[in-house]
Structure 1
Amino acid sequence: MNTYAKTKYHASFIGLSIILLLAYLVVMLKGVDLQKLILVSFVGVTALGGLTFIWHRWWKKAHRFHIAVSLLVLSSFIGAAVPLYKVAGFTIYPFRILLAWCIFMLIGFIYYQNKYIVTGLSRMKESIFTSFGGLWLFFGFFALSWSINPMNTIQDIIFLASGIFLIYLILLVYRNEEDYKELYFYWIIMSLLLVGIGLINHFFHIHLPISRINHVAQYQKGIPTAVFTNENDFASFLAIAIFFFLSLLKNGKSLAYKLIGLSGMVCSIYLIVLASSRANYIAILLGLIVWFLFVLKPSQRLRLSLAGLLFFLPVVIFLWDKVSGVLGSVGKELATLLPTEGGGDSVSIRENLLKNVMVFLENSFGFGVAPGNIELYMKKFQVYDTSGDYNVHNWWAEVLIHYGVIIFVGYILLLIYLFIQLVKIVRTNHDQASRYMGEALICGLGAFTMASISPNSFMALHYNWLFIGVCIGFVYMKKKGEDHIVKTNGSINHP
């Protein structure tokens, strides 16, 4: 890198540090109490340390558009936790600003025929998801024609468009093994940040303004929510993040990496238990089953089975009461997905919500009720009583009833395709970069199936789209072969 470029990047980094410092001083001058200052200090120091590591490891020689998209990816973990401004009910926060900036940059690069961007766009044309994402967006706009609440539909389409554009940008920018190793460590760094905030939530009872825990009784103040509105959203994130930590523990060459992986896993499980998110207990179990069946070698499975039998057999014998209690709790959560008889309990409510979804789907001839309309349909047209609960609490049902059978089937087929390809990658690639990301994604995808039914709406959670985008991009990169383009400052070099 030439002297001018070094000076420019150093100046940018110093500028970012100054901005973080000024933000910290503003918070102090506002008279924030000591407890909240602890949270601000932790976030600020962690963010600066993480950005320093990322800068020196990946961004020094990166294309400026790569840096912009990477900042967008990092901001997607924070979501709406840092609202900057509200306009007519529409909240502006860092992710949305950076998304608009990336699109603006992209238009400029296309206009000037930048080689880095043109090459990436040519690769995207061959991706199946590029066409499917466009079809999904088109159907969302088409559904406006029968929406009974167009404003809700437009709001849902904005979330959908944000998620699909994020996936498009991942396909455009991240092209080789080193890029996906970079993305992998983004997950680790940001997961550590969110786990740290969750622990502060629990032990110090300090929560961000977005958290619902600010308005609950004192005995519930220890429930962690990190940067999310409620504990279920946070627990679903952790159920996926756990398998990035597990991959780091298993594949990390240094002791430090293994300790970070182990600590991250233990703290994540602890926070999920505190959140009492039973769906995510099952999500973790599904992820571990995938890890056992598709990641471990036969000899490793045998050794682990024998060790587990020797450890758990005495536990089951001597602590049967506690074990049966845990199994009963899991059984109740599984029962929410099965037909039951009953009155106003949560099992019956969930069953009736899904029954209403099927009625609405049948009445709409499989096209759905249009994005953002299901709660209004539940209030006005429900056939089965849901005791005042109108949110379906199920991502799969949400996609089905909002976007219809065609989009739903396409989405399911996409996930099945990704899972099959990830299994092939994990079994045939033995280099460290592939193991890191491949194992984390395949187990995370297993956990995703249940983690996605815990939040009220998975559509608005950016980590949902980021995770699927990384799966799509990684599979595409491995299937088509590495793009050997080396990232440089505005140009392309072929080694």
Structure 2
Amino acid sequence: MKKLGYLLIASVFLGTDILAVNAGIAQISMYRMLLAICVVVISFIYIRRDPSVSLRFNLQDNQFRYVYLIWLVIGIFSFIWARDGGGWMKGVFFVGTGTFTIVLTSILMTSQKDLKTSFTILFIMIGLHQMMGFYEIITNHYIWADLSGPVRANFSANSGARVPYTTFTNINDYSTLIFASIPLSCIILFNTNKKWLKGLSILSILSTLFLLYRTGSRGNQLALILFVFTLFILKTMKRRYLRGVLYSLGVFITIFVVAYFAIPSLRYSIYSVVIDFIRQSGSNVYRINLLLNGFAFLAQSFGLGVGAGNIETWMVESPIFVVDAPNIHNWFMDILVAYGLITFILYTLMYLYILRQLYVSYKYSYNPFIRSSSFFLFAYVISFVASSISSASNIFIEWQWVMWAVIIAFVQLTEKKESETLMTWRKDQAFSTIK
């Protein structure tokens, strides 16, 4: 069963062009087929009451699953107020497949060996996209990308203008994927004794730096800077200061969101200040306008959100500020505006808990693998905030759901190891008391 889980992780990087079946209304990719098979097999095993598979949901051990399941349920019920039924179906489909992936991965990947293998698979599959990216730049041969005539002509005439796409339709989507290889390469580098694999990890990091420069994705270039800065802060800042910064940030965000909805005059003041500040032309203005429209849509929907997959419809039909594209270009705003305040608050609390658990594991774990992996994943989770503003709509990007599924499985492993360490300590204390 674990091998099927490994195949599921690997298959998501094939996209909807490689080994996919055209079903008319949608592409049935290898990942989607394997996910359906996994759900059927897990259900069959559960019905047979196999003790190796547990689907018991208690709050302490499955808080991650609860957050995503609540997100999915709210998305399903948003059909009641969603404007666009087709967009709603698309949104629910991706949140549903993502939720099932997270649940399945947390069930299957429970040991340190499982997570090491999962990280290696992610590293290899993204590495293949790196190689294909270099192939496209060097040869100007794009196997899967559907480039327009002018773009192809420009690439042919000017080799310096060529950028990689591989299986993606957007250069920013490719750049976001490539950035994710940085923490994976670091984890492999610091957790292997094989010199060739260490060399491959270093080569992957160098390749990523070049490809991020070549793609020109500002969001992911900013994420890289934030990643390195976070590593530096983790190494130099004392725990009490870092904890204070995180708590202060959480309190500030909470107060801001509550005040934004409770005080209408504050909303208009924010609009005025932002508009005066960015009153110019360019993509940055449109990005800000997308966010402002998102907040306006959320207020108009009374905090419930506009419905799964319906942000694009609202951006086209009811924009208050001028935009150049219907996609909101922000993972967190996607969740807030489409699925509402309840989903956003639960997700944000989970996100902060993941950061807290990774930090504690990095600082206090005696396990070298958990300690080093927590170090780099903490920096990635922080920098993902910047990376997620690059792609048009992260909700519809399946590999990101798989990436987060593996991260969550790792966090659950750290909880398990932490619990085992605590139990051992208590037994030692009890034994010492008896003596």
Q: TM-score, normalised by structure 1?
A: 0.72
**Other-structure match for 1:279:** 219
CA distance 1:247–1:296, shift in 2 (3 Å) = farther
**Other-structure match for 1:314:** none
**Other-structure match for 1:133:** 68
SS in 2 for 1:383: coil
SS in 1 for 2:103: helix
CA distance 1:375–1:139, shift in 2 (3 Å) = same
- Structure 2 residue corresponding to 1:183, chosen from 101, 106, 118: 118
AA at the equivalent of 1:249: L
1:380-395 superposed matches below 5 A: 380-386=317-323, 388-395=324-331
Q: Per-residue deviation at 1:430? A: 4.2
**Other-structure match for 2:87:** 152
1:452-467 superposed matches below 5 A: 452-467=388-403
- Structure 1 residue corresponding to 2:285, chosen from 348, 366, 374: 348
1:78 aligns with 2:18: no
Number of residue pairs the alignment of both structures matches: 380
- The answer on whether the counterparts of 1:201 and 1:207 sit within 8 Å (CA) in structure 2 is yes
Q: Per-residue deviation at 1:446? A: 2.0
1:87-98 superposed matches below 5 A: 87-98=23-34
How far apart in 1 are the matches of 2:236 and 2:194? 20
Larger mean Cα displacement after TM superposition, 470-479 or 276-285 = 470-479
1:61-72 superposed matches below 5 A: 65-72=1-8
SS in 2 for 1:449: helix
**Other-structure match for 2:412:** 476
How far apart in 1 are the matches of 2:76 and 2:57? 26
1:402 aligns with 2:342: no
How far apart in 2 are the matches of 1:367 and 1:392? 17
- The answer on whether the counterparts of 1:175 and 1:482 sit within 8 Å (CA) in structure 2 is no
Q: Per-residue deviation at 1:365? A: 0.4
Deviations 1:327-363 (A, max 9, x none): xxxxxxxxxxx76332442122112221111111111
1:49-60 superposed matches below 5 A: none
How far apart in 2 are the matches of 1:295 and 1:187? 26
How far apart in 1 are the matches of 2:148 and 2:163? 7
- The answer on whether the counterparts of 2:76 and 2:92 sit within 8 Å (CA) in structure 1 is yes
1:196 aligns with 2:136: no
CA distance 1:199–1:123, shift in 2 (3 Å) = farther
**Other-structure match for 1:238:** 178
How far apart in 1 are the matches of 2:60 and 2:3? 23
**Other-structure match for 2:36:** 100
CA distance 1:450–1:347, shift in 2 (3 Å) = same
CA distance 1:70–1:441, shift in 2 (3 Å) = same
Q: TM-score, normalised by structure 2?
A: 0.81
SS in 2 for 1:80: coil
AA at the equivalent of 1:139: I
**Other-structure match for 1:205:** 140
- The answer on whether the counterparts of 1:153 and 1:371 sit within 8 Å (CA) in structure 2 is yes
How far apart in 2 are the matches of 1:430 and 1:214? 57
AA at the equivalent of 2:176: S
**Other-structure match for 1:19:** none
Q: Per-residue deviation at 1:273? A: 1.0
1:362 aligns with 2:299: yes
**Other-structure match for 1:313:** none
Q: Percent identity?
A: 24
Q: Per-residue deviation at 1:217? A: 3.2
Deviations 1:378-428 (A, max 9, x none): 111111122x42221222211111001111121111111101110111122
- Structure 2 residue corresponding to 1:270, chosen from 210, 230, 236: 210
- The answer on whether the counterparts of 1:69 and 1:173 sit within 8 Å (CA) in structure 2 is yes
Larger mean Cα displacement after TM superposition, 206-215 or 391-400 = 206-215
